[in-house]
Amino acid sequence: MPSTSMETEQSPIIRLRKITRRFPGVTAVAEVDLDIYPGEVHVVAGENGAGKSTLMKILYQVERPDAGQIYLNGEPLSFHGPHYARALGIAMVHQEFALAPHLSVAENLFLGREPLRFGFIRRRRELAEARHLLEQVGLNLDPRRLVASLSVAEQQLVEIARAISFNARVLILDEPTATLTEQEIARLFEVIRQLTAQGVAVLYISHRLDEIFQIADRVTVMRDGRVVATLPRAELSEQKLVQLMVGRAITNLYPRPETHPGPVLLRVEGLSRRGLLHDCSFEVHAGEILGLAGLIGAGRSELARAVCGADPIDSGRILLDGQELHIRRPADAIRAGLAYVTEDRKREGLALDLGVDQNITLASLPVRLGLLLLRRERSVALHACQRLNIRTPSVRRKVRLLSGGNQQKVVVARWLETQARVIFFDEPARGIDVGAKAEMFALIGRLASEGRAIVLISSYLPELLNMCDRIAVMREGRIVGTLSRGQFSEERIIALATGASEVTIP
Amino acid sequence: MKESLSRNITDEPGAEAGLSWRRLLPTQISDLISQFAAAGALIIICIALSIASPVFLTLYNLFNIVSQTAVTAIIALGMTFVIITAGIDLSVGSVAALAGVLGVKMMVDLGLSWPLAVLGGTLVGGLAGLANGLLITRARLAPFIATLGMMSVARGLVNIITGATAVFGVPDSFRLLGQGMIDGVPIPLITLIVLAVAAHLLLSRTRLGRYTYAIGSNEEAARLAGIRVGAYLVAVYVLQGLLAGFGGMVAMSRVASGQPNFGDGLELDVIAAAVIGGCSLFGGQGTILGTLIGAFLMAVIRNGAVLLNIDTFTQSVIIGVIIWLAVIWDQFRRRRFAESTR
């Protein structure tokens, strides 16, 4: 690890040594060593799932490490939870804010530690202190306003004000700019620089390259739960950073399916949805697997949902076999032969209290003369279970009781029963174990080779690189590039997804 | 592997035996468990009462129980659908009164024959249900709020229409609906059986029934599966309204007049019947058979209390405790099933 000037001048405020955190089936953080100095902006970068957020949660004592030691000013820390971390001056602003929208800014700032006299809240004192705190983060607004009436950026600054009100010496920001505009980001950076000038150490999680180079003093790159490098900004180029983030030799975990793309099946032209999707156009051929890559929040799920009628669109055309479809609700898309395997199968995919059979036939109930054909339903379900190898002791078993992989297969089975010709898979491997993953991808390959058009959304690039015939990359609601198989590389996709300029696309 | 798999899946008691008793009963095993609990309680209480009181097990008393609880049970059939969608209908008591009084007035003021008036009253209930359904799906009110409003509106209307006094002068033949007998069997019992069988088939054997469960279990998943959630929700509230209207007519027939104050608090009995019978207020769970058991459990307790000279206030306490126990059981059952997924 190259030394920096700071190490000679100061001792680190935070030292992490051999921090390890395992989850079932995956080591999220592996033997991480990290030193944080007062007054520095330390960016932790890495792909989705590299372990950045988990590491920060360990520091903030939301997650307990399985091994390793955290030192604060040289003193080893014991684990007592976020309350304790905050009392020690470690504060964290989460990606999702933890403010109560129906309370005022001042009430939120002092929630749980209101200034009291004789059991009554000292409102004037609360307001005065709130104003002072807001000034410190450069927010000029009335602390009596309800949090719900603030913009996302203002809410974030309120969160930061709340964090520094605990006399934070270490401030953790988890992807703070995900939902901010350029001006709001500039303002946030100004506040961050003021804080570091006062000696606060800022830990900043991001995978947006442009930001990293704007704000970082030092950058730690994580990959697969490990720290691969900690470098001062001056020693980094975008190219080098991308290489460090990707790094791994692309392994062949996923069998490359044999696809034989035919004619264009689905064509989407100029699809827009205000604030979320901007002029998205793409096409998928029969028998082809098209990948949709991009950072979280880039609009991949939104695009799939819009095409499949789950969300309304403002403009754009959707054509299947050259025929324009008029999709107003999911039923229209299903009738036309589109299917959307949702990202969150428990929230959006399955009726968990219904049986395997009832979930499989939900979109294609066999009915004659108004009555359900229960025997037919049963045979359909049995057949689907065999075909997709859904392991369940009975087709009547509640879906809730199945494993994640089998639940996912139940969702897929439902769409095969509707004779879907175009299937959108949104993070199909999320939350299922390795064996089930391989099975799921083999299934997706088979569906493509049977002539269906597949759109595969994944945040894990190796999945896309192995499975897809082409990959469309999204950023901020736009499709910013489409790569054919010969052009595939993780560096290119990350460059497109993050908007890096130095990596040129032929 | 393939063989063992297919054997595994079909390896279910009663699965091969064409039309076994299981096929007539609800398919979900956990629902059966919760019904066994309520049914077990019903049987135990019946046995205890037949020992404690010589009157209890007489045909006369049993028919009396049925006649008294028929209206509650009929309306609770609809409440089963509503609660399975994770909804609630607080307006059924008021709607029954409004529909019943208007039906009576159709006979008294318009001279309609009683079957037509019964149809008319039922349709009035259906209209109220339609209004509830549209308020919930179009105006996006929470079911609790929409039907709370309807409860007040319907009660107000019936009092405006009648001047808050009873309407008399119904033809004698109208008594048949609530008081008549066929071969010694009370007509309300026959009506209840017919409606209950129809409701059971509707819930377990039709698209409407299946989607009712699906919407209650996961509304967003149902929508994404192409189900027109709004239309089916409206249908469910219309069904509840129709049953409330018809129940109101049966009730008016039992007293051979139009009573504007009928059904005050009835909604709570109806909801209690469904909940005791295993309907979950979180939606997705419940059966017609369970609701019937719940309704009769309450009726038998009330009847037994009368036979044993227990006052109505104590009855009320007992019913309340039963509701608690039923829901505690329901939650216990859910937790246990949730744990077994780990």
Q: Examine the domain organization and report whether A330 and A351 are in the same domain.
A: no
* Nearest-CA distance B202 → chain A (Å): 8
Of A374, A385, A414, the CB nearest to B225: A414
Contact at CB, B9 and A395, closer than 8 angstroms: yes
Q: How many CA atoms lie within 13 A of B67 on its CB side?
A: 21
- For residue B195, what is the enclosing H or E element? helix B187-205
- Minimal Cβ distance to A352: which of B2, B11, B218: B218
For B161, the enclosing helix (H) or strand (E) is helix B143-162
Partner-chain contact A385 B10, CB within 8 Å: no
Q: Say which amino acid occupies A141.
A: L
* Pairing label, strands A26-36, A14-23: antiparallel
Interface check for B19 against chain A (CB to CB < 8 A): the answer is no
Provide the 3-class DSSP secondary structure of residue A390: coil
Q: Which token pair is A203?
A: 């830990």
Instruction: Provide the residue range defining the domain that includes A398.
Output: 346-417
Q: Provide, as residue numbers in chain A, all residues whose Cβ is less than 8 Å from the Cβ of B218.
A: 347-348, 350-352
Q: Which among A368, A218, A338 is positioned nearest to B226, based on CA atoms?
A: A338
Query: Do residues A79 and A111 both lie within one domain?
Result: no
- Of A293, A329, A337, A247, which Cα lies nearest the Cα of A472? A293
Q: Are A315 and A276 in contact (CB under 8 A)?
A: no
Task: Say if A387 is an interface residue toward chain B (CB within 8 Å).
Answer: no
Residue with tokens 């064996």: A435
Asked if residue A190 belongs to a domain, the reply is: no
Rg of the Cα atoms in chain A: 25
Say if residue A112 is in the same domain as residue A235: no
How many independent structural domains does chain A possess? 4
Taking an 8 Å cut-off on Cβ atoms, the answer to whether B226 and A374 are in contact is no
Q: What is the pLDDT of residues A9-35, one digit of tens each?
A: 678 999 999 999 987 667 889 999 999
Taking residue A355's Cβ as centre, other Cβ atoms within 10 Å add up to 24
What is the helix (H) or strand (E) element at residue A425, kind and residue range? strand A422-426
Determine the Cα–Cα distance for residues A257 and A441; give it in Å rounded to an integer. Answer: 9
Sorted by where each begins, the domain ranges of chain B are: 70-286
A270 and A402 belong to one structural domain: no
Nearest to A371 among B206, B228, B341 (CB): B206
Q: Is the CB of residue A331 less than 8 Å away from at least one CB of chain B?
A: yes
DSSP assignments along A301-363, one per residue: HHHHHHHTTSS--SEEEEEETTEEE--SSHHHHHHHTEEEE-S-IIIII--TTSBHHHHHTTT
**Do the bridges between strand B181-182 and strand A323-325 make them parallel or antiparallel, or are there none, so unpaired?**
unpaired
The model's confidence at residue A96, banded by pLDDT at 50, 70 and 90, is: low
- Interface probe for A, chosen from B213, B218, B280 (most Cβ of A below 10 Å), is B218
The CATH number that applies at residue A269 is 3.40.50.300
Residues of A in contact with B11 (CB under 8 A): 393-394
- Judge whether residue A251 has pLDDT over 80: no
As a whole number of angstroms, the distance between CA B252 and CA B246 comes to 10
Residue B228, pLDDT score: 93
Query: Are residues B53 and B300 in contact, defined by beta-carbon separation less than 8 angstroms?
Result: no
Q: Do A1 and A34 lie in a common domain?
A: yes
B42-48: Cβ within 8 A, 24+ apart: B42/B293, B42/B296, B42/B297, B42/B300, B45/B297, B45/B300, B45/B301, B45/B304, B46/B300, B48/B304
Same domain, A329 and A431: yes
- Give the pair of three-digit tokens for residue A165: 């009100």
User: Comparing A250 with A332, which gets the higher pLDDT?
Assistant: A332
Compute the distance between CA of residue B74 and CA of residue B90 in angstroms, rounded to an integer: 15
Q: Do both A204 and A85 map to the same domain?
A: yes
Q: Is residue A504 in a domain?
A: no
Residues A279, A285, A286, A289, CA torsion sign: negative
Q: What pLDDT does B26 receive? A: 41
Q: Do A330 and B214 touch (CB under 8 A)?
A: no
Q: Token digits for B186? A: 């009370």
Range name among A194-198, A436-440, B214-218 with the lowest pLDDT average? A436-440
Q: Does A334 contact B226 at a Cβ distance shorter than 8 Å? A: yes
A-chain CB neighbours of B224 within 8 Å are 308, 310, 330, 340, 342, 348-349
Q: Annotate A185-248 with DSSP letters as a single string.
A: HHHHHHHHHHHHHTT-EEEEE---HHHHHHH-SEEEEEETTEEEEEEEGGG--HHHHHHHHH-S
**Is B214 in CB contact (< 8 Å) with chain A?**
yes
Listed range (A45-49, A71-75, A234-238, A449-453) with the worst mean pLDDT: A45-49
Contact criterion met (CB below 8 Å) for A105 and A59: no
pLDDT tens, A335-369?
A: 999 999 998 888 889 998 899 999 999 999 999 98
**Beta carbons of B210 and A363 less than 8 Å apart:** no
Same domain, residue pair A83 and A2: yes
A310 contacts B223? CB cut-off 8 A: yes
Of B2, B27, B226, the CB nearest to A396: B27
Of A359, A386, A417, the position where a domain reaches its end is: A417
Q: Is B50 exposed, middle or buried (0-12, 13-18, 19+ CB in 10 A)?
A: middle
Task: Tell me the Ramachandran region of residue A377: left when phi exceeds 0, alpha when psi lies from -120 to 50, beta otherwise.
Answer: alpha
pLDDT for the residue numbered A185: 82
Matching residue, tokens 């993780």: A490
A256 vs B149: CA distance, rounded Å: 60
| pLDDT at site A302 | 94
For chains A and B, CB pairs below 8 A equal: 118
Tokens of A93: 């602003």
Residues A218 and A83 in one domain: yes
Find, in chain A, the residue whose alpha carbon is nearest to that of B198. A371
**Alpha carbon of A372: minimum distance to chain B alpha carbons (Å):** 5
Answer whether residue A210 is part of any domain: yes
* Cross-chain Cβ contact B213/A353 below 8 Å: yes
Of residues B10, B201, B284, nearest to A351 (C-beta): B284
Q: Are A20 and A27 in contact (CB under 8 A)?
A: yes
- CA gap A70, A78 in Å, rounded: 8
The set of residues, in sequence order, having a beta carbon less than 8 Å from that of A320 and lying 6+ positions away, is A265, A266, A267, A336, A337, A338, A421, A422
The partner residue sitting opposite B226, judged by closest CB among A363, A371, A386, is A363
Please check whether residue B228 touches A, CB under 8 A. yes
Q: Do B210 and A365 touch (CB under 8 A)?
A: yes
CA-CA distance, B206 to A374, in Å (whole number)?
A: 10
Cβ–Cβ under 8 Å, residues A59 and A235? no
Residue B8 to chain A, least CA–CA distance (Å): 6
How far apart are alpha carbons B41 and B325 in whole angstroms?
11
> Which pLDDT value is given to residue A344?
83
Chain B positions touching A329 (Cβ under 8 A) are 223, 226, 228
Nearest CA in chain B to A358: B210
- pLDDT at res. B133: 98
Please check the confidence at residue A286 and state whether its pLDDT lies above 90.
yes
> Could you tell me if A93 and A156 are in contact, meaning their C-beta atoms sit under 8 angstroms apart?
yes
Looking at residue B17, what DSSP letter applies? S
Instruction: Name residues whose C-beta falls within 8 Å of residue A113's C-beta, 6 or more positions apart in sequence.
Output: none
What is the residue-averaged pLDDT of chain A?
86
In single-letter form, the type of residue at position B209 comes to: G
The pLDDT of residue A231 is above 70: yes
Domain end residue (candidates: A140, A166, A192):
A166
Q: Does the beta carbon of B84 lie under 8 angstroms from any beta carbon of chain A?
A: no
Q: Would you call A52 helix, strand, or coil by DSSP? A: helix
Question: CB burial class (10 A; 0-12, 13-18, 19+) of residue A308?
Answer: buried
Owner of token pair 């026959």? B190
Which chain B residue has the Cα nearest residue A344? B221
Contact call for A400 and B221, based on CB within 8 A: no
Q: Are residues A319 and A430 in the same domain?
A: yes
The C-alpha atoms of residue B63 and residue B53 are separated, in whole angstroms, by 16
Q: How far apart, in whole angstroms, are the C-alpha atoms of residue B327 and residue B342?
A: 24
Beta carbons of A370 and B207 less than 8 Å apart: yes
Q: Are residues A57 and A176 both part of a single domain?
A: yes
B35 close to B278: Cβ distance less than 8 angstroms:
yes
Distance (Å, whole) CA B27 – CA A369: 22
For A448-468, what is the mean pLDDT? Answer: 90
pLDDT at B4: 39
Q: How far is B149 from A273, CA to CA, in rounded Å? A: 36
Instruction: Output the six-digit token pair for A450.
Output: 């049977």
Terminal C-alpha separation, chain B: 25
Chain B closest-CA separation from residue A408 CA (Å) = 13
Q: Do B223 and A330 touch (CB under 8 A)?
A: yes
The answer to whether the CB of A492 falls within 8 A of the CB of A476 is: no
Domain boundary among A248, A281, A305: A248
Do A104 and A204 share a structural domain? no
Look at B225 and A400 and tell me if their CB atoms are within 8 Å.
Answer: no
User: In terms of C-beta distances under 8 Å and separation of at least 24 residues, what long-range contacts does A226-233 make, across chains too?
Assistant: A226/A30, A226/A31, A226/A32, A226/A51, A227/A32, A227/A33, A227/A34, A229/A1, A230/A1, A230/A34, A230/A35, A231/A2, A232/A2, A232/A4
Check CB contact under 8 Å for B284 and A395: no
How does pLDDT run along chain B (342 residues), one tens digit per residue?
A: 333 333 334 333 333 333 334 444 444 455 566 566 778 888 888 999 999 989 998 988 999 899 889 999 999 999 999 999 999 999 999 999 999 999 999 999 999 999 999 999 999 999 999 999 999 999 999 999 999 999 999 999 999 999 999 999 999 999 999 999 999 899 999 999 999 999 999 999 999 999 999 999 999 999 999 999 999 999 999 999 999 999 999 999 999 999 999 999 999 999 999 998 888 888 998 999 999 999 999 999 989 998 999 998 998 898 899 888 887 877 776 666 544 332
**Cβ atoms of residues B177 and B190 within 8 Å:** no
Sequence-distant (6+) residues with CB within 8 A of B200 are B287, B288, B289
Token couple for B342:
């780990």
Rounded to the nearest angstrom, the minimum Cα separation between B206 and chain A is 5
Contact between chains at A330 and B224 (C-beta distance less than 8 A): yes
From residue A181, give the alpha-carbon distance in Å to each of A45, A275, A444.
21, 12, 37
Q: Please tell me the distance from the alpha carbon of residue B225 to that of residue A349, in angstroms, as a whole number.
A: 8
Interface membership of B232 toward A (CB under 8 Å): no
Closest CA to A323 of A257, A264, A282, A376: A264
Q: Which of A329, A372, A418 sits opposite B207 (nearest CB)?
A: A372
